[in-house]
Amino acid sequence: MAGLDWLSARPIAHRGLHDASAGVIENTASAFAAAIAGNYGIETDLQISADGEAMVHHDDALGRLTEGHSRLADMTAAAIKAAPFKATADRIQTLGELCDQIAGRATLVLELKSRFDGDVRLVQRVSDVLNSYAGPVAVMSFDPALIEAARAIAPGLPRGIVAERRYAHHEWDRMPAAAKRRLAHLLHMHRTRPHFIAYAVQDLPSPAPVLARMLFGLPLLTWTVRSEADRKTAARWADQIIFEGWRP
């Protein structure tokens, strides 16, 4: 897709510019305000609620950062918004509220979270909300099915695929090795047709993202950059960083 220079123009703060030691918690209005003040882009996560709302939260269940323990997919948007954080007065936002807060002042990169179960309601809701948003925004996901759905539902919305080479984290334990290889090597690209790639910095260089960048001109973001050593790797192989716990 032409005209994606804005996507790589500024470093992108992973889950906003958060600092738990200062009471600024990830994926909250305070973290997003800090990113805007620092002139950074913003990466954040979206989960689907039981009533089909796009909610700004990384985990698929309450408990790590908030009171409660329920799965967001089993809760209404109102119930999710009512759940207090443990260490901030902020509350979980809807995508619409996030858009109202950012108001085009920073690039938004929205990661669509998935349970790899074929549920694409989140894509439709994100598309509906972004129809009235004028700021620079892109969506991405680990799940090719969601990006394929984004291609069909909102073909003009910039879309990317998030990937890594190893998929060693326990959250991937149930995924067959063959499926992990397909994801690592971006073998879905004939279906998803991503406009950009977001690949793990510890896995660069890897053939698939490097070739996608060199041969097809796809912008390559890399995550999660946490040190000067990571930044040096990113500077060699990628177009921009998604960073956390360290400022470029």
Sign of CA dihedral 143, 101, 99, 158: negative
Q: Which amino acid is at 83?
A: A
How does DSSP assign 98-156, residue by residue? Answer: HHHHHTTSS-EEEEE---SSS--HHHHHHHHHHTT--S-EEEEES-HHHHHHHHHH-TT
Please state the domain count of the chain.
Answer: 1
Residue 217 lies inside a defined structural domain of this protein: yes
Buried b / exposed e across 43-52, counting CB within 10 Å, b at 16+? bbbbbbbeee
* pLDDT tens string 3-39: 899 999 999 999 999 999 999 999 999 999 999 999 9
CATH code, domain with 17: 3.20.20.190
> How many other C-beta atoms lie within 10 A of the C-beta of residue 2?
6
What's the mean pLDDT in 218-232?
A: 98
Q: In this structure, is residue 207 part of a structural domain? A: yes
Extract the tokens encoding 212: 């996608």
What residues contact residue 25 under an 8 Å CB cut-off, 6+ apart?
A: 18, 31, 65, 85, 87, 88, 90
In a domain, 24, yes or no: yes
User: What pLDDT is stored for residue 2 in this prediction?
Assistant: 56
Q: What is the mean pLDDT of the chain?
A: 97
Tokens read off for 144: 């090719």
- Cα angle 177, 110, 11; round to 5: 100
Are 130 and 112 in contact by the 8 Å Cβ rule? The answer is: no
pLDDT tens-digit map of 173-188: 999 999 999 999 999 9
Residue 248 lies in a domain: no
Is 195 within the bounds of a domain?
yes
Enter the tokens of residue 76: 């209404």
Q: Could you list the residue range(s) of the whole structural domain that residue 125 is in?
A: 5-243
Identify the band that residue 1 occupies on the pLDDT scale cut at 50, 70 and 90. very low
Distance CA 135, CA 110 (A): 13
Q: Would the pLDDT of 125 be above 80? A: yes
Q: What is the pLDDT of residues 69-113, one digit of tens each?
A: 999 999 999 999 999 999 999 999 999 999 999 999 999 999 999
> Tokens 């918004």 map to which residue?
81
DSSP symbol at 200: E
Residues paired with residue 193 on neighbouring β-strands, in sequence order: none
The confidence score (pLDDT) of residue 3 equals: 86
Q: Is residue 86 part of a domain?
A: yes
Residue with tokens 């177009």: 239
Q: pTM, whole model, 2 decimals?
A: 0.97
